[in-house]
Structure 1
């Protein structure tokens, strides 16, 4: 210790608590220092993991009322964080919901955002801001692991699966990507890492066609005796057989690249865990898009027959296990405290969606949409009101339940605002900053929401208006109420969450006002 520091130490010992001015200075400095440390901790950038389940309904989790099946690991997120009762996708099907999530733009504003075939071109503009780019701009490492289903390659150009595919997740903001192109019921049934099909043999090139049969491989239509999972009639899951399952579309070649359905969950989990481990010392954003519980439902032997609800129940258990493994990995690496983990679904539930897996017969009273009406493909709440649970120990109070109106489309603006990033006028035109609601600090979410389930609807406060739309009231293939009605529909969701009583004729002024608001927003380039 130097002579100077010794003098200061002696003065401090003798006079600190006897001299009011010195004491005041000491306390002020101490408080300021502690305040700065607190502010630094408060502003610490969390790791973010968004777990995106597929076709999981509002009533499919035990934390949302399911009694025939238990999802303790997913429920744990809500118990240790927040569970939302009024959270939504933009759409009642997968591709548009994913488009809205990553772009902050209503998918109905852009043509070609419907459910895509496996050989579709990329529908996300590479020159626009995306959710992944928001994180990249904040210095995060980003990854997309799992289902993609947003197209690949140049617009109106056939994909060459045997060469690097130059437009995909990497070009939309993900440093790393491990995925399959569309859905597991569509060809090509291959994994892609960044730009390259995994395990590709140049001597066995891949070709894909969605308009006509190619090659001589067996199909579900011509060779049903080869199927281990029969296709439901008229769904189209009867083309090229891969792993004993008929797919949508035809494929030749790539024999050693083709996945085994029972291994998909484990493969994606291992890639997600690897990314977390490799980036544990850096802030990271992981978009973990599960295959479960989409058809064909083919759980690993670890879960087959374990739910007593058939294959659909088994893959719900597998999904919950996947979440448990991610939570364990965070605990193991001591990342739990500073990681925001969100679990949600891309649209509402469906039972029979193409394969005769007895999901309807074995539901045993289970209501996948809970109290909601409709499901996947529907304009009713069951189509796009979804589970949403989030945990961030440093910021979210455990055991919080929120009825704030939030939507996945808002994540882009919310994180851009959180990172104090400037957004251009064309960026995320329909995304609101709802970060306070997402973290449970406010019960106020976005002011209104437009959703797409065939017909468009608008929700503001407790009122929901569904625009008139011609078409069948029931989608026969899935036995889902579509919400189609030639007359306007109006529901008071605060009293009628199941949308049983149409109040349009009782409140014509409300119908007129909400129809006008929907038309105005639909026509506007930007509305927020």
Structure 2
């Protein structure tokens, strides 16, 4: 059994993989909707007003949530950056691609060009495609956005705390000295320009903000303005950016034919204290498979098509690929597993999705598994707090009912051993269904410590500020 448990720690899934792709039973609205996908970095479940925050002002996102679908159980497919982006753009579990850790400037690896991205699938339907912002799926030429289905790219190819932060335009470095106070503003300007130029035909715009990943920067229009400090300044500027995009769509009379999605790549980086955001009522954050690491804000707006609703359905970022391809009139690849589930019928007709499952991976190991309302958390040896990872004490196997206890405070395994056995069996069954998986990609060696040295330096600078 220990060997089986170890193997079980090697698969990642939502029920979309178990159910394959469910057919959309409603009528697809006429025409091809534009798609704007806004993906933040390290934004926590509790960082927006519409998710309960009382010190960070997010009026544009709050309005977007009020007019569209606000999900209370929306998940990134990973608690760290690169795997979450791979899953988002392909609709596939990152474990299928060998991606389970973060790429670094010293990495020679990246997401394989043979993967079919959302940009490539939408291009087949006549869409213009643009990626603005953080890429983080490999920075060598063959892995960059222009080789992954995007017509245009402008942004920083990896995290904003890594060495040699540069702006790329297409495949070329155009700026080596990046003033990150203006990163959010720059991304916004690029996004608005793309909408202006492509307003006459269907387009897919992927805006991947570099923040609120540390180090934090805000322009002079926002710095020092939020009651929540610098972190709040950064979120309020991102909210402003969302507002600018929504206003541009309205000015171009595109708001009724554009799907706008806002979410995050993982939970907040709690190791950075007040500069690391909040998971609200959820436990832990980034790098952990408690709810705070992967349950994130999820807002989807499509005026005239998606009626205002608060949805408690379990939805994941990998569901976006099949959903958007379906709504664009396309067909899904049939030469590879697509793990996400088409949720069109839920968005447009409020149809229930049925009982779903979710697997919580970190560094190639399955740390937790959810089936319906129940979640089992595998034993964890614990770790000490350090400059980039929050300290979490060791624990044995844990069982939670997330509907009754979303904060994961109460281990009810002793009262429900039969439910724990059911979830373990579901894990094992799905492991078998995944078949042979590729080896995990090598992204860095233990001696590559530049990244952590830079984080330590930034932390010391924050401590010295008055």
1:138 to 107, 125, 135: 125
1:461 to 352, 358, 372: 372
Tell me whether 1:312 sits opposite 2:231 in the alignment.
Answer: yes
SS in 2 for 1:337: helix
Hey, what's the Cα distance between the residues in 1 that align with 2:357 and 2:303? 29
Tell me whether 1:151 sits opposite 2:138 in the alignment.
Answer: yes
8 Å contact from structure 1 (residues 413, 428) kept in 2? no
1:497 to 402, 406, 424: 406
Number of residue pairs matched by the alignment: 409
Tell me whether 1:174 sits opposite 2:129 in the alignment.
Answer: no
Tell me whether 1:105 sits opposite 2:92 in the alignment.
Answer: yes
CA deviation string 1:431-477 (max 9, x = no partner): 222222344622326721112246532212110112234342x6443
Q: Once structures 1 and 2 are overlaid, which stretch shifts more, 120-129 or 518-527?
A: 518-527
CA deviation string 1:226-262 (max 9, x = no partner): xxxxxxxxxxxxxxxxxxxxxxxxxxxxxxx221111
8 Å contact from structure 2 (residues 125, 329) kept in 1? no
SS in 1 for 2:266: coil
Distance 1:503 1:453, change over 3 A: farther
1:189 deviates by: 1.2
8 Å contact from structure 1 (residues 465, 511) kept in 2? yes
2:67 to 66, 80, 83: 80
SS in 2 for 1:395: coil
Give the TM-score taking structure 2 as reference length. 0.82
Distance 1:484 1:135, change over 3 A: farther
Hey, what's the Cα distance between the residues in 1 that align with 2:28 and 2:417? 52
CA deviation string 1:135-168 (max 9, x = no partner): 1111111111100111122xxxxxxxxxxx3441
1:497 deviates by: 0.6
1:40 deviates by: 10
Hey, what's the Cα distance between the residues in 1 that align with 2:264 and 2:148? 21
Distance 1:499 1:40, change over 3 A: closer
Hey, what's the Cα distance between the residues in 1 that align with 2:219 and 2:169? 22
1:451 to 340, 350, 360: 360
Hey, what's the Cα distance between the residues in 1 that align with 2:230 and 2:119? 33
Matched with 2:306 is 396
Matched with 1:206 is none
Q: Which has the larger radius of gyration?
A: 1
Matched with 1:277 is 196
Q: List aligned pairs for 1:502-521, cutoff 5 A.
A: 502-521=411-430
Distance 1:41 1:407, change over 3 A: closer
Higher helix share: 2
1:42 deviates by: 2.3
8 Å contact from structure 2 (residues 111, 143) kept in 1? no
8 Å contact from structure 2 (residues 319, 341) kept in 1? yes
8 Å contact from structure 2 (residues 133, 156) kept in 1? yes
Calculate the aligned-residue CA RMSD, in Å.
Answer: 2.4
Tell me whether 1:196 sits opposite 2:144 in the alignment.
Answer: no
Matched with 1:226 is none
8 Å contact from structure 1 (residues 129, 427) kept in 2? no
Distance 1:130 1:52, change over 3 A: same
Runs of at least 4 residues of structure 1 off by over 6 A? Answer: none
Matched with 2:293 is 383
Hey, what's the Cα distance between the residues in 2 that align with 1:75 and 1:321? 12
Matched with 1:127 is 114
Give the TM-score taking structure 1 as reference length. 0.73
Hey, what's the Cα distance between the residues in 1 that align with 2:288 and 2:103? 18
Matched with 2:51 is 64
8 Å contact from structure 1 (residues 146, 179) kept in 2? yes
Distance 1:422 1:145, change over 3 A: same
Hey, what's the Cα distance between the residues in 2 that align with 1:51 and 1:176? 16
1:484 deviates by: 5.6
1:41 deviates by: 9.0
Unaligned 5+ runs, structure 1: 1-38, 154-164, 200-256
